[in-house]
Amino acid sequence: MSFVQIRRDLHKIPELGFQEYKTQSYLLEYLRSLPQERVQIRTWKTGIFVKIEGLNPRKTIGYRADMDGLPIVEETGLPFLSEHREQMHACGHDFHMSIALGLVTHFTHHAIADNLLFIFQPAEEGPGGAEPMLQSDIMKEWKPDQILALHIAPEYPVGSIAVKEGLLFANTSELFIDLKGKGGHAAYPHDTNDMVVAACSLVTQLQSIVARNVDPLDSAVVTIGKISGGTVQNIIAEKARIEGTIRTLSVQSMEKVKKRIQSMVKGIEVGYECETAIDFGSMYHQVYNEEKLTREFMNFVTQRTDVNVIECDKAMTGEDFGYMLKEIPGFMFWLGVDSEYGLHHAKLNPNEAAIEVAISMISKYIQYKGN
């Protein structure tokens, strides 16, 4: 079976975080079909660890692929459309898994000196699988000495990768704010505390944080993606909910933004005589590429493969692989897949030629590092 076909099989069965049961079963069936002489397979929740013993190990090289899909109705029209109507692999995790399987397959047939650890991680899109997986007993026993991962990039052509030393992806945090006042008839606003008005006022205030509280030489984003409140047009809303995301390029700015949000919400509570609650949800640590390993990887790819290396800028993207890089030296890079539509879009359609490009390039790099 080709790894393109594997990608298509996985594309049909996207599942949300920590619900990747079909995905895990599919991966395990394939992994157990490979030669098992030097292979150990262990499961963790809906994730999988695969260790391949080296011939003369001095270290362990880790590779991580994420597994979950997104709550998006697919609109690609592909013949291998998602069978789960309101879920889709709109971030390329089907690509990530098929590439990882290609690497596992290669190294079960081509032994190298060092140990390898392949990590199939659930819940990257939320609520976050990397941090608890990192703390698992299996990871403590098999913890690699260095680690790498990739993420598909629709904006770059097939045959290219984009990477940089140092900060690659931002710190991120979810944001949920609930407001509760007093509802009532639209004709008697003086007897109510309107939470639609309170929510709109708060959203406007939140937009001042980046402009007036964050160092202009730093970067931050506060985006409100959803507001809900009220029932019908002639009833003043008793409750409202704001949902959004915070992204910063420094841990210090994340702390400052959160403090300002808390202050503003307290002001809304007093000014609109209402109750409030803030939930910062899942937070992802920045993706920081270890300089020496990243530069070595960039030089290797430039000199030893046909892949074009692009030195990119940092992005406000969030990735919980940052937790692994906080504990283990390593790096993440963008893999060009040349799609008209971007990440998290219902019509994302990456070029499948990138799968074999990645398998070939990464297997050569790991062989170089592990012998």
* Residue numbers annotated as active site: 66, 125
Decide the pairing of beta strands 171-180 and 184-185: unpaired
Under a CB-based contact definition with an 8 Å cutoff, are residues 245 and 173 in contact?
yes
CA distances in angstroms from 44 to 50, 51, 134, 137, 179, listed in the order given: 11, 13, 11, 9, 38
Alpha helices in 147-250, H assignment, sequence order: 195-206, 208-213
- Nearest partner of 198 among 182, 187, 209, 210, judged by Cα: 182
Helix (H) or strand (E) holding 353: helix 353-370
Spatial distance between the Cα atoms of 264 and 236, rounded to a whole number of angstroms? 23
The SS3 call for residue 103 is helix
Under a CB-based contact definition with an 8 Å cutoff, are residues 303 and 309 in contact?
no
Under a CB-based contact definition with an 8 Å cutoff, are residues 154 and 338 in contact?
yes
Under a CB-based contact definition with an 8 Å cutoff, are residues 76 and 347 in contact?
yes
Residue 308: exposure state from Cβ atoms within 10 A (0-12, 13-18, ≥19): middle
Distance of CA 108 to the CA centre of its chain: 28
Bridge partner list, 150: 333
Written as one string, the DSSP assignment of 116-175 is EEEEEE--TTTT-SHHHHHTSHHHHHH--SEEEEEEEETTS-TTEEEE-SEEEE-EEEEE
